[in-house]
Amino acid sequence: MSEIIYLGIDLGTSRTSITSSTGIRTTVWSYVGYPKDHVAKKKMGGRDIIYGKEALDNRLALNLHRPLAGGSIKVKGAKDTNETKKAVKDLLEHVVSLAKAPKGATIYSVIGAPAEASVEGKATILEAASNCIDSVIVTSEPFAVAYGLDFLDDTLVIDIGAGTTDLCRVHGKMPDPEDQRTHTVAGDAIDTTLANLIKEKHPEAQFSINMVRDIKERHASVSPRMDEVIETLPVAGKPTKFDLTELVYKACYTLIPPTIAALQDLIATYDPEFQQKMRNNILLGGGGCRIRGLGLAIEKALEEYGGGKVRTVEEPEFAGSNGALKVALDMPEHFWKEFKSTKAAPAKA
């Protein structure tokens, strides 16, 4: 019998993390690039596919794809082009290769997807996985976070990624569709809002969306006592300093209202006997949980609804993939056989 390797994968719009039963944990940026011509291919050492941050850094020489942004995995009703499907497949195969599974090993994987991922989105994941994973199960990203930390009793999970903010109420069993909510005010939307605010206030400043994302990742805050954000941006080629403190705060705060609305909806539609317990057991994860003061800001916004308590996961990079691996390890063998995929015809979960 071949060795079985279990993988937990958190497919993120911006970053994808993997945790394996062999002890490997790593994160890659969710970018895939293909050389534009023979000169670009020579520059990239003869490789046909470039991954992660290296792809982003060399984007001028590559046809760059961020395949998990805007596709069916993240956006309901979106249709995936053949190029997007290929990029998802190439990215997933690269991520699985990082587990360094022995030749001939059987690979079982649980993959985290947005809480309300469409049927088309799940089908795209299953199709992409069929060439590199023997059996795959797609689960809700916030549920995977809760499962990995054993928060399975009346817990509300908020998982803030780049493309979506996913919410899930967990109450001792696998979540049903009515237990989950998704909205699109997340990391990418904050970047766009911040870029627009800078253009409005400082139309002379020159910047790219990648520069804005970097500013946000270093300074993101919704604390009323946040540190000053003084950044240097070019103006007609001349480096110029700008005070962006208020703009960063405003952009980050746009996350709060839709998240509170989704939280309150999940609480209001829950068994009234357990609503207070759930409101006081909110778990914040995903890359967006690094926004300074976010937990306190959510607690303050919940005051008019009866209050609430928020705690933040310690390892946002791996909370999803760790949880997905734990789901995989705890899954009965007959489930893996039920979800068995083949190269010819991927299983559907």
- pLDDT the model gives residue 345: 41
Domain boundary among 238, 253, 268: 253
Query: How does strand 238-243 pair with strand 230-235?
Result: antiparallel
Position 116 scores a pLDDT of 64
Q: Are residues 171 and 281 in the same domain?
A: yes
Shared-domain flag, residues 109 and 207: no
Radius of gyration for the chain, computed over Cα atoms and rounded to the nearest angstrom: 21
Confidence of residue 75 (pLDDT cuts 50, 70, 90): low
* Whether pLDDT at 1 is above 60: no
pLDDT of residue 76: 67
When pLDDT is averaged across residues 227-253 and rounded to a whole number, the result is 97
Same domain, 157 and 15: no
Structure tokens at 156: 């509300």
- Has residue 347 been placed in a domain? no
Query: Among 253, 269, 295, where does a domain finish?
Result: 253
* 345 in any annotated domain: no
Task: Tokens for 319, please give them.
Answer: 């909370």
Mean pLDDT over 59-85 rounds to 83
Domain count, the chain: 3
Residue 316 has pLDDT above 80, yes or no: yes
Q: Report the distance separating Cα 176 and Cα 158, nearest Å.
A: 16
pLDDT level of residue 334 (50, 70, 90 thresholds): confident
> Residues of 8-19 as b/e, b for ≥16 C-beta within 10 angstroms?
bbbbbbbbbbbb
Is residue 25 domain-resident? yes
What local confidence, expressed as pLDDT, does residue 341 receive? 45
The sign of the torsion formed by the CA atoms of 106, 338, 327, 286 equals positive
| Together in a domain, 66 and 160 | no
The token duo for 312 is 């933040």
Asked if 34 and 23 sit in the same domain, the reply is yes
Query: What's the confidence (pLDDT) of residue 348?
Result: 38
Whether 179 is covered by a domain: the verdict is yes
Grade residue 40 by pLDDT with cuts at 50, 70 and 90.
Answer: very high
For all residues of the chain together, what is the average pLDDT? 90
19 plus 120 within the same structural domain: yes
Domain co-membership, 207 together with 111: no
Taking the CA atoms of residue 280, residue 284, residue 290 and residue 292 in that order, the dihedral angle to the nearest 10 degrees is -20
Residues 217, 243 within the same domain: yes
Total number of residues shown for the chain: 349
Burial class (CB in 10 A: 0-12, 13-18, 19+), 58: middle
65 class by beta-carbon count within 10 Å (0-12 exposed, 13-18 middle, 19+ buried): buried
What's the whole-number mean pLDDT along residues 233-246? 96
Please write the tens of the pLDDT for every residue from 43-63: 999 999 999 999 999 999 999
Residues 172 and 236 in one domain: no
Name the more confident of 29 and 177: 29
pLDDT at position 344: 36
Comparing 80-94, 102-116, 171-185, 331-345, the range with the smallest average pLDDT is: 331-345
Residues 152 and 300 in one domain: yes
Q: Which two tokens stand for residue 121?
A: 């989105």
* Model pLDDT, residue 173: 87
Three state DSSP letters for the chain = CCCEEEEEEECCCCEEEEEECCCCEEEEECCEEEECCHHHHHHCCCCCCEEHHHHHHCHHHEEEECCCCCCCCCCCCCCCCHHHHHHHHHHHHHHHHCCCCCCCCEEEEEEEECCCCCHHHHHHHHHHHCCCCCEEEEEEHHHHHHHHCCCCCCEEEEEECCCCEEEEEECCCCCCHHHEEEECCCHHHHHHHHHHHHHHHCCCCCCCHHHHHHHHHHHCECCCCCCCCEEEEEECCEEEEEECHHHHHHHHHCCHHHHHHHHHHHHHCCCHHHHHHHHCCEEEECHHHHCECHHHHHHHHCHHHCCCCEEECCCCCCHHHHHHHHHHHHCCHHHHHHCECCCCCCCCC
Say if residue 302 is in the same domain as residue 271.
yes
Domain assignment of residue 344, yes or no: no
pLDDT score at 10? 93
Res 346: pLDDT: 39
Rounded to whole angstroms, how far apart are CA atoms 263 and 108? 33
pLDDT tens per residue, range 118-153: 677 788 888 889 889 999 998 888 999 999 999 988
Residue 281 domain boundaries: 148-185+255-312
The percentage of the chain sitting over the pLDDT mark of 70, rounded to a whole number, equals 93
Residue 292 lies in a domain: yes
CB atoms within 10 A of CB 33: 26
Whether residue 246 sits in one domain with residue 110: no
- Does the residue 349 lie in any domain? no
Instruction: Please give the pLDDT value at position 342.
Output: 41
pLDDT at 349: 40
Q: Is 210 part of any domain?
A: yes
Q: Higher-confidence residue: 39 or 344?
A: 39
Strands 106-113 and 15-20, by their bridges, are: unpaired
CATH code: domain of residue 237:
3.30.420.40
Q: Is the pLDDT of residue 22 over 70?
A: yes
At 275, which amino acid appears? Q
